Structure 1
Amino acid sequence: MKPARRSLLLALALAFFAASAGTASAIPWDMGGKVPPSETPAPETPDPLCQQSYANDLPEAGPRLHFGVGPRLAGEIGTGQTTPLTPENWRKRDQALKRLAGDRDFTVRLNRLFLSDGWKGIRKFQKMARHYGRLGFGVELQVRYHPRPAQNGNLRAWLDYVRKVVRAFGPIHSVRTLQITNEVNLSTSPNTSDGAWEKSTEALVAGVKTARRYSDRIGHGHLMIGFNFAWRFGPQADADFWNRLREVGGKELRQATDWVGLDLYPGTYLPPAALITDYGDAFLEALAQMRECYMPMAGFGPRFPIKIEETGWPTGPGRSEADQKEILREFVSTTHRYRGTYNLTDFRWFGLRDNNSQGPDLQSFFGLLRDDYSRKPAYGEYRKLIASHGAGRKS
């Protein structure tokens, strides 16, 4: 074969293979993590409900992660608490927190600061924030809309409350972060999430903007303001949430937002444990969808940090403590490996202690500790990972 003809055939072959590689079809959301990133093709647009897999990116290093945990007992899904809570032992709790943090930067996420509780709730949380600050921890507040019936849909009352929160907590040195509203895309559980209340999206948007502007105005500009999203609780509802943020919030919301939080529970809610092949890859699916599909719907690009605000895997009937340890490791390791890829800055485990280690269902068993403060294997694993991957303590 003549050299010129051989060169032509080689060029044609290379062009064919390049074209073939470029036309690989996107695959549906790989909910169980069965397809590794190396075999995942690029997603295709449009994808209005984020139904494709986006987990085809390479891991990239970044700044060390800031770890934390929720030290308060967990809220139950639904309209209120139904299972009796085993009383807390503050001394044992604090000892467990200090041992878990070691010499790393560590944040406690204080959930369930409700509008409906007014000043009484604020004073209770001020006491907690000062206490954890004395222990050397940073504090993150979950500022819930959760109105009383007479306040439902009353944005004036809500924004007045947000300003009270800023005034009350801005001077407390340990308080670093305000999460405004909780899981507004989730409308079926008013006890744990704010989507069930009237004008909840408007409350998120106006609350974030008010918190940012008022903090800056009265000298508490150090407070970092953000909101969160409960991943995969309904394709249409999730997409509607982000599109609504774009419509209602627009550029002003983005300018007021310092970070965006992600709540995800693979193997507990969605996807169910029976469908998961690889927990780390299933977790990665969520990170990639959040960064590349959901957030862009509202104009939130790569410069906005993502915080893993809530993730966990409860033990309990049919769910072993050994599995919890391994799954925690997968979740943390995946976040660590892809922190640069997706601008991941924080990781919070939900939560420190079981509500009730004799409880009737998995909602009672989220803790790293049993309700007598004895350690599950996941506690030691999380402590080790914090020491290995965590950022140094802030001054």
Structure 2
Amino acid sequence: MKYGIYPGGRAGATCSRESDPRRVGELVDELTGGGPFVLREYVHFLGTRPDPAVVASIGAAGELDGLTMPDDWYVRDGRELDLVVSYLPAEADLPGWLGFLDRVIERYADITRYLQVTLEPNFPIPLIDGSSPGVLEALIAGLPHARRALDERGHDTVRIGFSVAEPAEWLGGDAAFWQRLAGADLSVVDYVGLGLYPDAFGPPVPVEGVRAMTEHALRHLREHSLVVAGIPAGTPIHVCENGSPSLPGRDQAASLEAMLAVVHEQAAALNITLYELFGLRDADTAGGEPVGALGLVTDEYQRKPAFDLYRRIVRVR
């Protein structure tokens, strides 16, 4: 199994300070010992005339100019870039979206290994793609469009997929989403990503509860949702986002250890090939909210106990 992380310091609209590339590089090297690693990054389509306030709130300005680190960093020392193209327009805009995919591919395909088309389109909450008008059409049309654009430019080794939040009962039900995909051509899908936060945004959960919720999410995706959509068992699952906050009354390291143990136990049976943590740095350590405290280090890059845990796991491989 491959491992990775989101190296930035933003979670949606939450970000207390800009990233420090020098510290990011040092910490990633410390996690990996200089070995192979996957780095997850995000760019956002906000429509052809995006609201400047929304652009500023999620830090989307200049995303086609550069990511957290310089381009060449993502392909040195066995690193691979997992690039998410998020769909967040205020109004449905399929032509604008497909044009944006072309621009992203033109800009970043040379350094990209995995290209994710939309972010959790089954999850209808603000600043997540499932809340956006026309998101299903954007996903269904965007996947083959991205494949053609990549192939035309000679990037046939870039893997294409999409991600979802699971399981359905956490979301109020997403049966209609999977049934709609069942009628689509998904032959270009190389992987399906899972956003997994079983104990992050509700009351604290005992470790055994975290284990049970993690296994249920993984099995529900493989054994129910993907079956409904007609996505075969040979299509890998990527745990593309996983996290637990470091807040009073919570043991971040124990929760992450429990979730990772389940992922490892189920990897062969469920065809899980990649695990990525969200994320390296807190978005806002002092804010007191779960979304701001998911990092392995604080927003001032001070290590938490979970940093050492993940370093041990990554280096064992």
Work out whether the TM-score is over 0.5. yes
Q: How many Å separate the matches in 2 of 1:258 and 1:324?
A: 32
Task: Indicate how the Cα distance of structure 1 residues 122 and 295 shifts in structure 2: closer, same or farther if over 3 A, else same.
Answer: same
1:304–1:343 Cα contact (<8 Å) kept: yes
Q: How many Å separate the matches in 1 of 2:223 and 2:304?
A: 35
Q: Does 1:160 align with 2:91?
A: no
Show the counterpart of 1:364. 292
Give the SS at the match of 1:157: helix
Show the counterpart of 1:66. 2
Q: How does 1:1-395 map to 2 (within 5 A)?
A: 65-76=1-12, 81=13, 85-116=16-47, 120-125=62-67, 128-134=70-76, 136-147=78-89, 149=90, 152-172=91-111, 175-190=112-127, 193-232=128-167, 234=169, 237-247=173-183, 249=184, 252-253=185-186, 255-269=187-201, 272-274=203-205, 277-319=208-250, 323-388=251-316, 390=317
The alignment-based identity, stated in percent, is: 31
The one-letter code of the counterpart of 1:330 is A
Give the SS at the match of 2:19: coil
Task: Indicate how the Cα distance of structure 1 residues 296 and 269 shifts in structure 2: closer, same or farther if over 3 A, else same.
Answer: farther
1:267–1:276 Cα contact (<8 Å) kept: no
The one-letter code of the counterpart of 1:243 is Q
The one-letter code of the counterpart of 2:100 is Y
Give the SS at the match of 2:195: strand
2:4–2:38 Cα contact (<8 Å) kept: yes
Deviation per CA, 1:110-169: give whole Å up to 9, x if none: 02443557994212239643333346521111101122x4xx211011111112222222
TM-score (norm 2): 0.89
Listed as ranges, the gaps of 5+ residues in structure 1 are 1-64, 391-395
Rg comparison, structure with higher value: 1
Show the counterpart of 1:61. none
TM-score (norm 1): 0.72
Give the SS at the match of 2:74: helix
Deviation per CA, 1:31-66: give whole Å up to 9, x if none: xxxxxxxxxxxxxxxxxxxxxxxxxxxxxxxxxx10
1:114–1:121 Cα contact (<8 Å) kept: no
Q: How many Å separate the matches in 1 of 2:179 and 2:308?
A: 41
Residue 317 of structure 1, CA deviation: 3.2
Give the SS at the match of 1:387: helix
Residue 179 of structure 1, CA deviation: 0.5
Show the counterpart of 2:52. none
Q: How many Å separate the matches in 2 of 1:110 and 1:263?
A: 14
Task: Indicate how the Cα distance of structure 1 residues 120 and 353 shifts in structure 2: closer, same or farther if over 3 A, else same.
Answer: closer
